[in-house]
Amino acid sequence: MSINDITGAIVDAALQIHRDMGPGLLESVYEAVLAKKLESRGMKVERQKTLRFVYDGMSFDEGFRMDLLVEDQVIVELKSVEQTAPVHKKQLLTYLKLAGKPVGLLINFGAATLKEGVTRVINAPEDSLQ
């Protein structure tokens, strides 16, 4: 399954969830529902996966937790706020770099429409994401 297929399936599932459940629920609710929805489509999904990393020769076991890691390739960072801040996109890009993953999705279920709540964040040249 290509990166574009994976991100397309994630966005499709998120749109359906937002349409059915609406905005305003806790982030953890959307995380649980999105994970189950993707698993029902046969995708491998890990919730709250801890990333261990090395910096300056020091190892850190509790670097950060990814909301979702889908198919071991796409990090999904979920929010349920009226509007995301620029720091949320920067945070996801840092996660991608530390994890060595090419693409992430910042999905804000708090937006009035999910179309305005989805941001794709790239940590690799676009042409390498086939």
pLDDT at 37: 98
Please give the backbone phi and psi of residue 108, each rounded to the nearest 5 degrees, phi first.
-105, 105
Cα–Cα nearest to 23, from 119, 92, 107: 107
Residue-wise pLDDT tens for the chain (130 aa)? Answer: 899 999 999 999 999 999 999 998 999 999 999 999 999 999 999 999 988 888 899 988 877 889 999 999 999 999 999 999 999 999 999 999 988 899 999 999 998 888 889 999 999 755 554 5
pLDDT at 51: 85
* Residues paired with residue 51 on neighbouring β-strands, in sequence order: 64
Please give the backbone phi and psi of residue 123, each rounded to the nearest 5 degrees, phi first.
-120, 30
pLDDT at 17: 97
DSSP string, 42-97: T--EEEEEEEEEEETTEEEEEEEEEEEEETTTEEEEEE-SSS--HHHHHHHHHHHH
Torsion of CA 97, 100, 105, 106, to 10 degrees: -30
pTM confidence score = 0.89
